[in-house]
Amino acid sequence: MRPLAARFGPALFLIAYLFRFAGGGLWARFTGDDLMNLNFHLTPSFPALVLSNLTYWTTAYRPMGGIVYVAIYRLMGFHPMPFRAVCFALLLGNLWLLYRVCLRLTARREIALLATLLASYHAWLVNLYYSTGTIYELLCYAFYFAAFDYYLGIRQAGKKLHGRQWAWFLALYICALNSKELAVTLPLCVACYECIWRRQAHNWRGAALAALVTVPYVVGKLTGPDSLAANPLYRPAISPARYLHTFHLYLNVLFYQDHFFRDANTILLVVAMLGLALWHRSRPLLFAWFFILFSVLPFIFVPHYSGFFIYLPLAGWALYAATALTMLWDRVAKAIPPAVLFLAMALALAPLHAKESRRTMQVFTSAGLPTTEMTTQLQRVQPVVPKGAHLFFQSDPFPPRTFSLVFLVRLFYDDLTVEVARAQDGDALEGRHFDAVFRWDDGNLVRVVDPR
């Protein structure tokens, strides 16, 4: 039996490593996306939200994330800390799931630990650590790899899934689909595993069943009312050129580069990675290579770009890099314990993560909204309003022609019927009755007693 330090030391190190660079995200404030998402998911009744998770093929917007948003809000109120705590619990849980999947695929603990380290933090995915708006990515990752881990556990025990096990596997998959569209590649993930490790035709049942579940989901999402495909930001333009172009954009994100990767050297890298996998006849390398290429399919053809979209594909890059580095370590430093490689990579990446963290945080905070300041001032000046109240802001610190202040006020008072008018949006006091009139004065909210 391994000593306690060997059993729990790496896990504690990985937790500390994540919190070293991203721990400030626990105290992050609400973002504009948080306010919009929470308002959106509170609009239907909670039973209707639950039903949307059962009818997963409809155009209901990521209803699993809605369940989490609404549950936290109802249980803990309008405070950012509980939301952030749930997000960090998912971040840590996802690292554990990645470790389990990599361990199953490689049968080597040192590779699984190294892969988990490589995926534990990425400074250009800053939204994952500082915005609850990425709850959809976090939940999708959790259910995706929980389903795959569950599947691998049964198949690697030499068994086939039976009725109840199929139900659990497909339920986890549907939860992933209800979290975000990224999950649609799970059938390919299962098929890739069966093709590389099993190769018997009768072992394709898992991929086939998952694909059957996917068909109504894709058809419903693309053709139903309020489809994301109707939004120009999410309307796909499918072509090899678009795939290659977008792939190299995300490669630059992955490697902390601005314009290093272009189409030509991207092709060279992908071909070299495949050559290495085939040369060494490494199943984990080959699986990781395929995973890297197909896991980007849900977003690679759309014109909307966000760095944190590569959160799920990052698992494939981590598995590939950890496997390749360990293979090299076995050749050149076999007498040195693999723990040295783990610590060396952690120390080598730390200055780079720290440097890029400062850079991305400057960008992220520059777009921040004074949500905490406004809620504090509302609690001080006007903690309660009548239901359906009409409020007027002569001035406020939020950008004009946006709904963030409206959403915030409604969430603060837990009343979606509150009406908010703003002078900077062109609204006027004259001719209307308002229950309260406010002015933002040098960081303080002032209730105007006689606004006329």
104-120 b/e (C-beta count within 10 Å ≥ 16 → b): bbbebebbbbbbbbbbb
User: Looking at residue 211, what is its pLDDT?
Assistant: 92
The region of weakest confidence among 239-248, 330-339, 359-368, 381-390 is 330-339
Assigned token pair, 418:
């509150």
**End-to-end Cα separation, the chain, in angstroms:** 78
Give the up-direction half-sphere exposure of residue 203: CA atoms within 13 A in the CB hemisphere.
18
Distance from chain centroid for Cα 394: 37
Alpha-carbon dihedral 365, 366, 368, 373, rounded to 10 degrees: 90
pLDDT at residue 449 above 90?
no
Q: Which residues on adjacent β-strands are paired with residue 436? A: 391
Rounded to an integer, the average pLDDT of 58-80 is 95
pLDDT tens sequence across 75-132 = 999 999 999 999 999 999 999 999 999 999 999 999 999 999 999 999 999 999 999 9
Cα(19)–Cα(236) distance, integer angstroms: 36
Distance of alpha carbon 449 from alpha carbon 391, whole angstroms = 13
Which residue's structure tokens are 């554990």? 96
CA 36/CA 22 separation, integer angstroms: 24
Would you say 151 and 190 are in contact if contact means Cβ atoms under 8 Å apart? yes
Q: Which pLDDT belongs to residue 2?
A: 60
CB atoms within 10 A of CB 248: 21
Position 229 scores a pLDDT of 67
In the β-sheet with 419-422, what is the strand arrangement from edge to edge? 419-422, 390-393, 436-441, 444-447
> Residue 420: what are its φ and ψ, rounded to 5°?
-120, 125
Instruction: Provide the pLDDT confidence category of residue 429 given band limits of 50, 70 and 90.
Output: confident
Q: Is residue 245 within 8 Å of 263, Cβ to Cβ?
A: yes
Q: What is the pLDDT of residues 24-48, one digit of tens each?
A: 999 999 999 999 999 999 999 999 9
pLDDT band at 11 (very low <50, low <70, confident <90, very high): very high
Whole-number Å distance between alpha carbons of 287 and 301: 22
How many whole angstroms separate alpha carbon 92 and alpha carbon 85?
A: 11
For residues 326 and 231, the model is more confident at: 326
| Residue of 91, 92, 56 lying closest to 184 (CA atoms) | 56
Instruction: Say if residues 152 and 101 touch (Cβ distance below 8 Å).
Output: yes
More confident residue, 45 or 222: 45
Angle, helices 4-22 vs 109-119, to 10°: value is 10
pLDDT tens per residue across span 223-267: 866 776 667 767 778 899 999 999 999 999 999 998 899 999 999
| Distance (Å, whole) CA 402 – CA 348 | 43
Cβ contact 58:52 at 8 Å: yes
Map tokens 């406010």 to a residue: 438
- Residue 431 has what pLDDT? 77
Does the pLDDT of residue 10 top 60, yes or no?
A: yes
Across the chain, mean pLDDT equals 92
Structure confidence at residue 4 (pLDDT)? 60
The region of weakest confidence among 157-161, 222-226, 396-400 is 222-226
- The pair of structure tokens assigned to 370 is 């004074």
Comparing 232 with 216, the larger pLDDT belongs to 216
Kindly state the percentage of the chain with pLDDT values over 70: 95
**Mean pLDDT score, 194-221:** 84
Tell me which of 12 and 5 has the higher pLDDT.
12
Q: Would you place residue 370 in the very low, low, confident or very high pLDDT band (cuts 50, 70, 90)?
A: very high
Q: Is the pLDDT of residue 169 over 70?
A: yes
